[in-house]
Structure 1
Amino acid sequence: METTEKSVVRRFYEIVGSGRPEVLDEVCSAGLKGHAGAGSDLQELKNSVASLLAAFPDLTPDVRHLVQEGDLVSTWVSYTGTHQADFAGVPAGGRRVKFAAWDLIRVEDGEIVEITQYCDLFTIMSQIGALPTAAPA
């Protein structure tokens, strides 16, 4: 049986996959504290997700693992998408990307109150052609 905390976290990724970061209020506390890639608060989290979705509008999360200890849910997520707009100064190239992310999410009273996000930015940049792929022979 899935816990309430895990259900809230799954809903978070459903919202991201729907391309509607403006409705993250459904699962996130107004007082959300963010760390690393999540920004520092709910608005910065929304902006971060919106920025990623602007560059990869078909971004699709695939939740691989949800591990819970108390009110903390650790997630391992695989994302796929197509580079369709500027990302980190790199013009759209139409390339498909697949990258991993790890999030640590604290859920209290049915809301996400704290989130730390790390994603494999190196893989994204490599796949969109922003990094050299091999040293010359």
Structure 2
Amino acid sequence: MTFVQLIDCKTSRFDEMNRLMDTWVEQTKGKRTATHSVIGKDRSESNHFVEIVEFSSYEEAMKNSNLPETDRIFQEMVALCDETPTFTDLDVVRDDQLNKTNARRLFELLSTKGELPPLDEVVAESYHDHDPNNPQDVIGMDAFRREAEMWRGGFDFTMSIDDQIEEGDRVCSRWTWEATHNGDFMGIPASGQQVTMTGTTIHRCRGDGKILEGWWQYDRLGLMGQLGALEM
């Protein structure tokens, strides 16, 4: 279970504390077990700071706490604080990563059998799509739907997510596309051929999680080869 520790402190010497934290990170390189760390400053109280440190488990957090460098740096940190810092230990019981969820949902919607469902639950109206196989970018919800319908008209397909990484407002998804060629695609008549393709898509999301922009990379040349559209 993911574990999070909140470190709440007040200090008028944050620049010194920041340098101290840099020293600790350098000294514990290769030994520190935290997976993510964020420090926030209270907008209403300029000397109030909260650090949020994430670990894969409570046990990993304890390994981090037991490092000799951690104890030494902690004593120096306390000396920089206006008052004794407080610690709150939390087991994470729910973790909603909205951007990743919406990116995954988009792939599910594109793969839906029958009529293409509305996409506005996950895609912004001003969506901007970048595909190196298109001479021009696809801009706007309607244009993106037409692009999706072109693929759906040529293939009955499913898209499965192999990996997803989220950082800031970006989500990177590595996917596998498996399809049956049951309609005309770029002038190639339906062949009934079973085909597969892999690719990666980076999505940029806005604050509410809706997707604003997408960059696609996929093996279209390999797909055309499977369809017998390439001359030797």
Same topology, TM > 0.5: yes
Residue matched to 1:89: 187
Root-mean-square deviation (CA, aligned residues, Å) is: 1.6
CA contact (8 A) 1:30 1:42 kept: yes
> Distance in 2 between the 1:63 and 1:128 partners?
23
Runs of 4+ in structure 1 displaced over 4 angstroms? Answer: none
CA contact (8 A) 1:22 1:46 kept: no
TM-score, normalised to structure 1, is 0.88
> Distance in 1 between the 2:139 and 2:215 partners?
9
Q: Aligned-pair distance for 1:21? A: 3.6
Residue matched to 2:203: 105
* Cα deviation digits, residues 81-106 of structure 1 (max 9, x gap): 10011111111111001001211101
TM-score, normalised to structure 2, is 0.53
Residue matched to 1:128: 227
The 5-angstrom pairing of residues 1-137 of structure 1 reads: 1-19=95-113, 20-36=115-131, 39-56=138-155, 58-108=156-206, 109-132=208-231
Q: Alignment partner of 1:47: what SS?
A: helix
Identify unmatched segments of 5+ residues in structure 1.
none
Matched length: 132
Larger Rg: 2
* Cα deviation digits, residues 102-136 of structure 1 (max 9, x gap): 1110111120011112221111111111114xx5x
> Distance in 1 between the 2:209 and 2:154 partners?
31
Report sequence identity in percent: 27
> Distance in 1 between the 2:170 and 2:148 partners?
21
